Amino acid sequence: MTNAYAVQEAASRSAVQIDAVFLFITVVSLFFFFLVEGLLIYFAIRYRRKKASEDAATSDVTSNLVLEIVWVLIPSLVVLAFFAYGYVVYRDVNTPAPGASDINVTAQQFFFEFKYPDGRMEANELRVPAGRPVKLIMTSRDVIHGFFLPDFRLKQDILPGRYTYLYLQPDKEGTYDIFCTQYCGVGHSTMRAKLVVMPAEEYAKWASVGKVAGAALSLPEKGKDLLAKSGCLGCHSTDGTIKVGSSFKGIFGREVHLEGDRKVTADEEYIRESIYDPGAKVVKGFPNIMPTFKGRLSGDDVTAIIAYIKTLK
């Protein structure tokens, strides 16, 4: 199956999977609809009263345990099948593929800003290579926005003050619409962008031209510079050495043990929270003395720092 909607292209693996779930639910629902309605009409005609003389007393049946079990069990199994199939697809669509490229998305009234690992920044146009997985790390500068790719059957809210994620597996080359699907102000209807899926060779050329033409630092380079200028390296190391605070080396994606016998995975949201609200999740064995950097480091600064920490394997 490639297109369950008949009018909307399925441009990615996720779209094909989600279309298949909708088709499965639709076919099964229609089957039981016609089965139940057909039996209802048949019995209504077959056992209708034909003459007034047929007013004989009916049998006094109050219950039938077998029938009651059957008409509860069958719908329950059908609903469980819907849930199981949907969950498998949901889990697959929301699991990042190995080797996915990170692209940061910042939404604000009334446009999308895309920041690539090499420091390049584009407004309202996202370019990705065909056949390669992409992880979108998204946040908002003002209000709640939505990120909807109808040709991919994917939608994710973008929230201020935290990160949300979307995983793309673009298979077909082409240009696809991106819409904001959360009302965000008077210009909401104009908040649109484009996803351009390019051949891998063409994307590589486009990226290399940007590197030559652009003088800006890459995100990891900017993050490294910010750590040094902000004084972070006075308490944290980048080579595994333990100082006043834990080391940044190898921390991203690792399970971190916190005070109070809690555990958390060191992802983008954990690092952002640790910068802005360091007392919320204190690493076990280290003092709770780190000051907040809220108001000192912008959201873009934090994005760059996270990009650098990811390189410290």
pLDDT at 207: 83
**pLDDT at position 2:** 44
Distance (Å, whole) CA 163 – CA 135: 12
Q: Are residues 280 and 188 in the same domain?
A: no
Number of domains, the chain: 3
Domain that holds residue 251: 219-310
According to DSSP, the β-strands at 192-198 and 154-158 are unpaired
The token pair that represents 110 in the structure block? 């009334």
* Predicted local distance difference test score (pLDDT) of residue 56: 62
Residue 71 lies in a domain: yes
Q: Is residue 153 part of a domain?
A: yes
CATH number at residue 269: 1.10.760.10
Does residue 55 sit within a domain? Answer: no
What's 33's domain CATH number? 1.10.287
Show the low-confidence residues of the chain (pLDDT under 70): 1-7, 51-59, 210-216
Is 210 buried (19+), middle (13-18) or exposed (0-12) by CB count in 10 A? middle
At which of 211, 229, 249 does a domain end? 211
Same domain, 266 and 182: no
Predicted pLDDT of residue 41: 94
Residue 52 lies in a domain: no
Verify that 243 and 299 share a domain, yes or no: yes
pTM given for the model: 0.74
Residues 67 and 107 in one domain: no
Does residue 125 share a domain with residue 75? Answer: no
Q: What is the pLDDT of residues 128-138, one digit of tens each?
A: 999 899 999 99
pLDDT tens track for 266-290: 999 999 999 999 889 999 889 888 8
What does the angle CA 79 – CA 82 – CA 85 come to, to the nearest 5 degrees? 145
